[in-house]
Amino acid sequence: MEYKKNNYQSVIEKVKKLKLLILDVDGVLTDGRLFFDHQGAEYKSFHARDGHGIKLLQKTGVEIAVISGRKSAIVSLRMQNLGIEHVYQGHENKIAAFEKILSKMKISAKQVAHVGDDLLDLPLMKRAGLGIAVQDANFAVKNYADCITEIEGGLGAVREVCDFIMQAQGSFDSILQSYLD
């Protein structure tokens, strides 16, 4: 993880407070490419390591939410498979969904990290306690991010973020140990 605006210790302090990780879809959970067949059916590719990282982070008590500007049945299915309850699609203005989730969970914006890749993500990155850009994000998004993943969106960047949160919050070692026992 590359640290932009804040030094390492400042980012770690923010991560320790996190109760919610909000993810964009296209460009974060996927590589951003959209595939359509001749009948208009949409296809997306999700990385298995991202999904596993999400499930591990959920076990530690950190909630996951998805807010996407686009709407896709495939996203609904994948999020259902991952047990993500807070799924908001078709929200180009993502602020209303963000505020609704905060209200439902009774948490503050400082307890939220948002991972994004494009300009639609900037309002949430600015409001969240921690803004994270994926490696291949738009340059402006990277400029506003607190940190940037080493891995590109759709290729394991979300797993990198999940592992980072678990390490900073002190839960990674117990997760790892469960695989070694």
31, 155 Cβ separation under 8 angstroms: yes
pTM over cut 0.75: yes
Residues 6+ apart with CB under 8 A from 176: none
Domain boundaries in the chain? 2-180
How many whole angstroms separate alpha carbon 97 and alpha carbon 68?
Answer: 10
CATH of domain 2-180: 3.40.50.1000
pLDDT (average), residues 38-49: 91
Cβ neighbours for 41, distance < 8 A, ≥ 6 positions apart: none
Phi and psi at residue 20, to the nearest 5°: -145, 135
- Write the pLDDT tens digit of every residue in 103-135: 999 999 999 999 999 999 999 999 999 999 999
